[in-house]
């Protein structure tokens, strides 16, 4: 596939207009239309639909856009890496990945602390789901990933080293002015009649499991494409949502949070390749541990469990075997 056409498609999605995309890309509008039509023929699905103020991606187009954007960013990195080697640059960029909730605060905070300590360096950040991040560490696309063991959990692979950062209590995010705002922690039963919104299967599974243990069900009637969309639906009063506690400090001003009694908890880990590690990996691990500890709103009174259900002291520091 022609990545130039992918860029055209992503640009049209971002601007919501064929003519605006044509102007930015220095193409004619008819050329942009032909590129989009050719991409639709190649994929065999409609990617764009017209509306009163322009165009927008279809559900299939939005799914393609998210993956295309990641691919284009990686292609840009590949070009820069080749040019850096040709120009004699020896300090390769540090490639880091994290789920959106951790990419929103903890990872940038840790990178800033490391740069203040060691001086500026080039780095990149890929927000993605934990299973995909784990795979990209194995394939060498990432030097380090911060991941969680939220459902479906983390895969086991001897090619990576996994270190435990800590446990993260999930909290409920509410619109400002919600009756439960300022109260808490509250039992999930007190929120059983609410409409919930979710943006990923892992968070939805944690919510359903927690509600089931209390003998109630959670009505997940709304689905968001991503974390910002999820928070927007909460802020406008359409729903409430379960979010990681470490995200609390990075939330927008028109939402608030409330804790849950015996909340769902997810473990947070770093994953690094066992071989050919980046020289900045070790100091970044230290900064990530500090940033995670400072961002947790409350300490969970639990420890990570091994697959057989037992907790070991080693699990607190280094799950190097991949268990």
Can you list the domains of the chain with their CATH numbers? 3-82 (1.10.10.10), 91-167+266-316 (3.40.190.10), 170-265 (3.40.190.10)
> What's the confidence (pLDDT) of residue 7?
94
Tell me the average pLDDT across 181-196: 91
> What's the confidence (pLDDT) of residue 83?
79
Nearest in space to 290 (alpha carbons), one of 270, 312, 314, 264 = 270
Lookup: tokens for 241: 């949502």
101-146 pLDDT, tens digit per residue, is: 899 889 999 999 999 999 999 899 999 889 889 988 988 889 999 9
Q: Which of 75-89, 120-134, 253-267 has the lowest mean pLDDT?
A: 75-89
Q: What is the mean pLDDT of the chain?
A: 86
Cα 266-251-293 angle, rounded to 5 deg: 45
Tell me the average pLDDT across 295-306: 44
pLDDT score of 179 more than 70: yes
Cα radius of gyration rounded to whole Å, the chain = 22
> What's the confidence (pLDDT) of residue 313?
29
Measure the CA–CA gap between 117 and 108, rounded to whole angstroms.
14
Q: Which of 29-33, 53-57, 149-153, 181-185 has the lowest mean pLDDT?
A: 181-185
Nearest in space to 203 (alpha carbons), one of 216, 218, 186, 182 = 218
**Confidence label for 275 from pLDDT (cuts 50, 70 and 90):** confident
pLDDT score of 306 more than 90: no
pLDDT score of 190 more than 70: yes
**Confidence label for 73 from pLDDT (cuts 50, 70 and 90):** confident
**Confidence label for 297 from pLDDT (cuts 50, 70 and 90):** low
Using a 10 angstrom Cβ sphere, with 0-12 exposed, 13-18 middle and 19 or more buried, the burial of residue 1 is exposed
The fraction of the chain above a pLDDT of 70, given in percent, is 89
Tell me the average pLDDT across 237-242: 95
pTM to 2 decimals?
0.65
> What's the confidence (pLDDT) of residue 108?
94
**Confidence label for 201 from pLDDT (cuts 50, 70 and 90):** confident
> What's the confidence (pLDDT) of residue 323?
24
Q: Which of 19-23, 86-90, 154-158, 191-195 has the lowest mean pLDDT?
A: 86-90
The DSSP letter of residue 191 is G
Nearest in space to 155 (alpha carbons), one of 176, 136, 179 = 136
Query: Which runs of E-coded beta strand occur in the chain?
Result: 48-51, 54-57, 94-98, 123-127, 144-148, 160-175, 195-198, 219-223, 241-244, 255-258, 265-273
* Half-sphere exposure in the Cβ direction for 39 (13 Å, CA): 26
């Amino acid at each position: 596939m022609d990545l130039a056409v992918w860029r055209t498609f992503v640009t049209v999605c971002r601007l919501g207009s064929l003519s605006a995309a044509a102007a930015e890309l220095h193409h004619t509008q008819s050329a942009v239309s032909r590129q989009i039509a050719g991409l639709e023929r190649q994929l065999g699905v409609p990617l764009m639909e017209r509306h009163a103020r322009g165009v927008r991606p279809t559900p299939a187009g939005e799914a393609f856009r998210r993956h295309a954007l990641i691919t284009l960013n990686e292609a840009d990195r590949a070009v820069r890496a080749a040019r850096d080697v040709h120009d004699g640059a020896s300090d390769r960029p540090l490639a880091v990945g994290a789920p959106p909730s951790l990419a929103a605060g903890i990872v940038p905070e840790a990178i800033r602390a490391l740069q203040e300590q060691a001086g500026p360096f080039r780095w990149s950040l890929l927000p993605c789901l934990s299973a995909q991040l784990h795979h990209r560490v194995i394939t060498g696309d990432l030097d380090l990933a911060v991941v969680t063991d939220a459902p479906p959990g983390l895969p086991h692979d001897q090619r990576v080293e996994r270190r435990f950062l800590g446990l993260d209590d999930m909290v409920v995010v509410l619109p400002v002015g919600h009756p439960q705002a300022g109260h808490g922690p509250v039992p999930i039963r007190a929120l059983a009649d609410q409409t919930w919104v979710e943006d990923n299967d892992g968070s939805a599974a944690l919510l359903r499991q927690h509600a089931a243990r209390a003998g109630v069900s959670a009505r997940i009637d709304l689905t968001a494409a991503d974390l910002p969309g999820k928070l927007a639906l909460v802020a406008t009063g359409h729903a409430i949502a379960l979010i990681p506690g470490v995200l609390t400090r990075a939330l927008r001003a028109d939402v608030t949070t409330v804790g849950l009694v015996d909340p769902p908890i997810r473990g947070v880990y770093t994953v690094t390749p066992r071989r050919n590690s980046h020289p900045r990996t070790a100091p970044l691990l230290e900064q990530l541990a500090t940033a995670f500890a400072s961002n947790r709103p409350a300490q969970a009174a639990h420890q990570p469990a091994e697959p057989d259900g037992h907790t070991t002291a080693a699990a607190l520091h280094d799950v190097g075997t991949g268990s």
